[in-house]
Structure 1
Amino acid sequence: MLRLHEGVIFIAFSFLLSLGLGFAYFSQYYLNVEPCAMCYTQRYLFMGAIFILLITGVFFDRFPILKYLSLLVVSANLGFSGFHVGVEQKWWKGPSTCVSNAQLNLKNASPEQALAQLKSQLSEKKFVPCDKVGWRILGIPVTLLNTLFLLILFICILKVIVTCHTRRSQIFYKK
C-alpha cells in the first residue's frame, strides 16, 4: 500500500490554503468583491498558516513539535473564521473596525460645508461592514464556506497527527 510521507501531506495542506487565499484575492480584484476588515485579518492568518504548514512539511521529521504548531495555527484560523460568521449572522458584535465612522453632521452646516463633507466622504475608500453578508456562493455565505473548509483542514491535520502517533507507538511498543 502506498503511504505518503506526512511532510508531503502538510505541504499539500499548505497548497490548499494557498488556493483559498488566491481565491480571496481573485474575488477582490477580478470579481470586484470588496472585503471587510475581518476579511483582511483572515488573510494575514491564512498567510501565517501557509508558512507554518510549509515549514512543517519540510522539517516534519526533524522538529515534530511543528505539527502541533500547525494544528494550533489552523485552529486559530478556524476560531477567527467562526467569529467572523457569528458577526455576519449577528450572533454577537464585531470589533470596532467593523463599524462605519462615516457620519455627516449637516444640521448647522452651510451649503459649502455640507458639500465639502460630502466630497470628503465620497473620496474615501468604500467601507464594507463586517456584519453584512458580503457575498454568497450557491446561497451559502463565503465566510461559512471558509469556516467549513478550515474545519475540514483541522480534522485532516488532527488525523495525520493521530495516525503518526499510532504508527510510532506500534513500532516502539511491540510485544
Structure 2
Amino acid sequence: MTLSLPRGAALLAGAGSLGLLLGAFGFQYIGAIPPCPMCLWQRWPHALAAILGVAAATTGRVRLCALAGAAAMTVSTGLGIFHSGVERHWWDGPSTCTSSAQQGLEGSALFDQIMNAPLVRCDEIAWDLAGLSMPNFNAIFSLLLLALWIATFAAAWRR
C-alpha cells in the first residue's frame, strides 16, 4: 500500500505518540518508576493520537483525524506544562496526588493525613535528564507532534 504524504505524516505523528507511550511504560515497568496520577492523565491523549494516526492512514479521513490529533496534542502539551509547574512548585496540583503539611493537626488527624497521602506524588520529580523532567519532555514532544498534526492537516487540505 502506498501512502500519500498526508497519510504518511499522520501515521508518523501517531507513531510518535506510540513511541512516547512505550517510553512511559518502559520507565514504569523496566525502570521501576511508577507513574503518578497526572502522569497517567498524560498517557491518554497519546493513546488517542496513536489510534488516530492508524485511522488516518487506513481510512483516508486525514483532515478529521489530523484535527483530532492536534486537539489531543494540545491537551497533552497543556497537561505536561501543568504537571511541570506542579513538580517545580510554581502552582498547586490536585490534592489527590500532592502533599501539603497541615498546620495545627494533632494525633489521629495527623496520622490519618500521613496514611492517606498518595504513594506517588505529582509534586516530586521522579526522573530528570539535563534538568528536564518527564512532564517537561512530554510537553516538548507533544508540542512537536502538535506541529506535525497541523502540518498533516494543511497537507491534506491542499489535496
Q: TM-score, normalised by structure 2?
A: 0.79
Paired letter, 1:50: A
Aligned to 2:21: 21
Pairing of 1:1-20 with structure 2 (within 5 A): 4-20=4-20
CA RMSD of aligned residues (A): 3.0
Aligned to 1:153: 145
Pairing of 1:19-168 with structure 2 (within 5 A): 19-60=19-60, 62=61, 64-100=63-99, 107=107, 127-165=119-157, 167-168=158-159
Paired letter, 1:7: R
Q: Secondary structure at the match of 1:96?
A: coil
Report 1 or 2 for greater relative contact order, CA contacts < 8 Å, sequence distance ≥ 6.
Answer: 2
Q: May I ask how many residue pairs the two structures share in their alignment? A: 153
Paired letter, 2:153: I
- Post-superposition offset of 1:153: 0.7
1:69-124 CA-to-partner distances (Å, cap 9, x unmatched) read 221122111111111112112222111221249x9x8837xxxxx9xx9xxx5xx9
Runs of 4+, deviation exceeding 3 Å = 105-108
1:118-137 CA-to-partner distances (Å, cap 9, x unmatched) read xxx5xx99711111111102
- Post-superposition offset of 1:4: 4.6
Cα distance between partner residues in 1 of 2:152 and 2:49: 17
- Say whether the 8 Å CA contact 1:36–1:128 is kept in structure 2: yes
Bigger Rg, which one = 1
Paired letter, 1:152: L
Cα distance between partner residues in 1 of 2:130 and 2:56: 34
From the superposition, tell whether residues 20 and 8 of structure 1 become closer, same or farther in structure 2 (CA, over 3 Å): same
* Unaligned runs of at least 5 residues, structure 1: 109-113, 169-175
Q: TM-score, normalised by structure 1?
A: 0.73
- Post-superposition offset of 1:63: 6.1
Paired letter, 1:23: G
- Say whether the 8 Å CA contact 2:73–2:146 is kept in structure 1: yes
